[in-house]
Amino acid sequence: MIKTKSAADVAKKWAEVTPGRSAYYQAGASSAGPDWEKNTTDAALNFKAAVTAGNIDKLFAGGVKKAGAEKYARKVNEVGVARFGQGVTAGAGDYQTGMDPMLATIQGLTLQARQPRGNVANLQRVAQIADALHKKRLALRAAGA
């Protein structure tokens, strides 16, 4: 039998020591972008195999159930709320970059004439926008785009 510390002791030490290692995290993670991009792109076939595996729905549902609603709510309250504003501020440039082509797509559309309120033909205007945005999203996500 192999003797180990208890999970409680290991978790306590991890929680006490790890937050002080942010400089190590920054040094390693800041320069890892090129490796992440190459390795992740190279893993596309593995990703496809994983998400199309015959039991992926059961594995996914099992992982969700294992984490559970309680953990979700706890993490929202303990972590998410405090980081929300900072994350929004940090993501403003990325948000703009992502929105630019979508707004340009919408601005480039000429919609069919609007009909009186309640006319089902007005839904086609929405469908025109949805279709154009879907095509733009697919074009932007295509490899090399």
> Which one-letter DSSP state was computed for residue 111?
P
| Token representation of residue 79 | 């972590």
Looking at residues 86-95, what average pLDDT do you find? 95
Q: With 90 as the cut, is the pLDDT of residue 102 above it? A: yes
Contact 90, 101 (CB under 8 A): no
Backbone angles phi, psi at 141, to 5 degrees: -85, -15
Position of tokens 């596309």? Answer: 44
Q: With 90 as the cut, is the pLDDT of residue 144 above it? A: no
pLDDT classification of 143: cutoffs 50, 70, 90: low
| Token representation of residue 138 | 């697919």
Report the chain's mean pLDDT, rounded to a whole number: 94
| Token representation of residue 143 | 């490899």
| Token representation of residue 106 | 């919408």
